[in-house]
Structure 1
């Protein structure tokens, strides 16, 4: 195989885009490894592929979306097909659902309702102006053009941001999710967290270190790590997932440029 420009993986499958926008899939058939049902739509013109745990969604150059894989996890987008024929500029997935941003900033969701595939509860807030969407295990968080954040999905996975709503009305520039929590960076470099407390939704233990200067946040299943402008790293969340970095603290005081 040559000419591949992007590869995307989900739980048990891969999808590769080649230089003419064609897609090749392999892996577990029922998790998106078998794309034969939509093969004619994947021969050319695909510019992005995104996965949930058992499905894929591809954006074509004309802004339409093609989905395949397990229908319960977003592989079947028939319920919103009329909204995905054009104008889609970005797709994000979590474990069981997809969220697509259209050119006008409107958001279309599909997949498992309990994972945020149904956004009806916040639909009026997703009609326009959304510039970024982030997913975690069972929820989504969207940033609108003024830096406000809208959340939906499973309440105990971060879709309930009511405790920090006053801090999320404006000024957010990035949102990162782990399994059951979210962390938002504000324009001043401060960080706001919510969701399951022991997974990083509660950052009170390191709050004085997160008031300013944060430039990047990375999450895994149960913890977060933030890089500050001076290259130091701040961690919080479940200690068993890296939320406690005390063993290497002297090595994280400066000079860090990326966390994975």
Structure 2
């Protein structure tokens, strides 16, 4: 059965050809979903020959691990081919914006939900794309995301356990990351710390920091400099054999 809140945008490739798939997680501070980071992004991925699935995961008042459980269920279902699309199960990734980037990074880390049916290898992505992500719950924090995901006064152990830069291991998938240097909502340190953690774990990564640009740009069409992120990401995907 298709997980709630999931919708598909098929790749623009000949019918029957197996293509990679990417799960899109829009941002919104774990309070809402930013529509411009959802279907428009899926349409861009589709134009690259990649099946795209948009997940509107549970947000506040739901707490952790509800969003992570939704994302794991969605990723496993995409691999199952229950949707009828020709998905290459060995090439299933995740793309997240802002708080959706945090969800993508925790998904990549294999953080458990406590549900054995969900905490399986098929619920981890093969690569990850993080766009101005929330990463750390300990340094330069985005307090709104913490409050909405964990409620009031979460324990230090929980904050550390959900700080994605602390959960990177050699099993973490390769990442493409971008941020703007003057992001006033989610500090660029989040992306820098995650990239450094990947380097220390010998996980391949590509990081782009653009000089200027507000938070929440999405595809950033028409935003000088930053709009190149989609081109750069497409080239990175091509290098990993994900372009059809």
**TM-score of the pair, normalised by structure 1:** 0.28
Higher-Rg structure is 1
Q: Please state which structure has a larger fraction of its residues in strand.
A: 1
